[in-house]
Amino acid sequence: MDRIKRLSYEVLEGHKLKFGEDFADNKKALDLIAIIRSKGLKNEIAGYITKFIKKENREEKAKQSQIESSRIENYTLEEKISEDDTIEEEIIAITSDSETSEATEE
């Protein structure tokens, strides 16, 4: 694991809630949390944290949409099954009615 990732994970470990998807805000939060003398290193760490948070949020949204779409599919499937059961009951009722009428005609 390279230095930027390692340092970013160390900072995120204890202060994850202070960071978001905005680079400038993450840079300010990093100033409050840690003393980093190198401007370039600070920018790289803030950039990696920003990228990490955005990726995490994107994956969470994808997971939520997948769960929602599976719920919709299950609901639609249950609705279709109940419709099929109703149609089968109607067919059985029509079949038994026609059998009854044929028996009375004979």
Is residue 105 in a domain? no
- CATH number for the domain spanning 53: value is 1.10.60.20
Domain span at 40: 3-100
33 contact partners, CB below 8 Å, separation of at least 6: 11, 15, 18
Residue 7 neighbours by CB distance under 10 Å: 20
Taking only the tens place, the pLDDT of each residue in 3-42 is 999 999 999 998 999 999 999 999 999 999 989 999 999 9
Is residue 77 in a domain? yes
Q: How many domains does the chain have?
A: 1
Whether the full predicted model's pTM is greater than 0.85, yes or no, is no
Is residue 71 in a domain? yes
Using CB atoms within 10 A of its CB, is residue 30 exposed (0-12), middle (13-18) or buried (19+)? buried
Using CB atoms within 10 A of its CB, is residue 45 exposed (0-12), middle (13-18) or buried (19+)? buried
